Amino acid sequence: MSSPPGRPDKQAIGSQLLADVSNYYTSKLQQHGTTPRGVDWNGPESQQLRFAQLSRIVAGDGGFSINDLGCGYGAFLDYLETEFTGFTYVGCDVSVAMIAAARERHRTNPNVHYHETSTPPQVSDYGVASGIFNVRMGHDDAVWRDYVKATLTVLDRTSRRGFAFNCLTTYSDPERARADLFYANPCEMFDYCKRSFSRNVALLHDYGLYEFTILVRKAL
């Protein structure tokens, strides 16, 4: 069934959304290089704190595989290498420039692979998505929520043992909120993940940033 005249279908909207995301982050990388600001974060301290929350999805200290959706230039991999050994990593991003930068930075590591895509090409033990739900640009909330839910479904489908992601929180100070950003209700996201993906879901909202992290663990 086709969409009504004048109304773009969901596939067309999704393609435009991903193109907008790619252009946005490519621009940030061109401005700031392979730094936290190059993926639109304020600085290294908050980036490391964020990575520490996401990495809590990993059980044990090695011998796992992980997909990083929206990997940017591979900063999360840098963090993982300080905390874990013996793992394999797949980074995915819709920005050609980001993938090129990531491949150059980690070109000597045989356990690291990067792909220009919005969907991981393989199922891994874990999946993570950091920051990819924040900048909605000109897209309205309904379209962006569909994108968030569709991406969480991708994470679920491509993660064997569990996945983690973060979002800006609706508990942010109103005077600091920006119209171009998407703020998610942490209670609603927790409920959605609990009902849709697993009984074992953790909500982390106690690490001092205007965001939250959700961990979805699967029963094996």
Euclidean distance between CA atoms 39 and 164, whole angstroms: 18
d(CA 59, CA 55): 9
Over residues 169-185, mean pLDDT: 90
**pLDDT band of 60, cuts 50, 70, 90:** confident
Higher model confidence: residue 117 or residue 8? 117
Of the candidates 113, 105, 150, 112, the one whose C-alpha atom is nearest the C-alpha of residue 129 is 150
What integer is the mean pLDDT of 108-135?
94
Least confident of 7-11, 41-45, 141-145, 213-217: 7-11
Question: Does residue 144 contact residue 13 with C-beta atoms inside 8 Å?
Answer: no
- What is residue 173's three-state secondary structure? coil
* C-alpha separations of 123 from 104, 119, 129, 140, 182 in Å: 24, 10, 15, 31, 28
* Contact assessment for residue 120 and residue 66, using Cβ atoms and an 8 Å cutoff: no
| pTM, rounded to two decimals | 0.86
Three-state secondary structure string covering 4-32: CCCCCCHHHHHHHHHHHHHHHHHHHHHHH
Q: Which two tokens stand for residue 135?
A: 């900048």
- pLDDT tens per residue, range 64-120: 999 999 998 899 999 999 999 999 999 999 888 889 999 999 999 999 999 999 999
> What are the two backbone dihedrals, phi and then psi, of residue 12, each rounded to the nearest 5 degrees?
-65, -40
User: If one looks up domain 10-217 in CATH, what number appears?
Assistant: 3.40.50.150
pLDDT value of position 50: 94
Query: Looking at per-residue confidence, does 72 or 152 come out higher?
Result: 152
Which one of 17-26, 143-152, 155-164 scores highest in mean pLDDT?
Answer: 155-164
Alpha carbons 109 and 216: distance in angstroms, whole number: 28
Is the pLDDT at 149 greater than 90? The verdict is yes
Least confident of 2-6, 72-76, 145-149: 2-6
Give the model's pLDDT for residue 84: 94
* Length of the chain in terms of residues written: 220
Q: Which amino acid is residue 18, in one-letter code?
A: L
Buried b (16+ CB within 10 A) or exposed e, 50-78: bbebbbebbeeeeebbbbbbbbbbbbbbe
Task: Check if the beta carbon of residue 147 is closer than 8 Å to that of residue 20.
Answer: no
The model's pLDDT over 44-55, given as tens digits with 9 standing for 90+, comes to: 888 899 999 999
Report the greatest alpha carbon distance in the chain. Answer: 54
Per-residue H/E/C for 178-191: CCCECEECHHHHHH
Mean pLDDT of the chain: 87
Residues sharing a CB contact under 8 Å with residue 151, sequence separation 6 or more, in sequence order: 69, 118, 129, 132, 133
Question: What are the domain boundaries of the chain?
Answer: 10-217
pLDDT at 36 over 70: no
DSSP, collapsed to helix, strand or coil, labels residue 130 as coil
Higher pLDDT, 135 or 127: 127
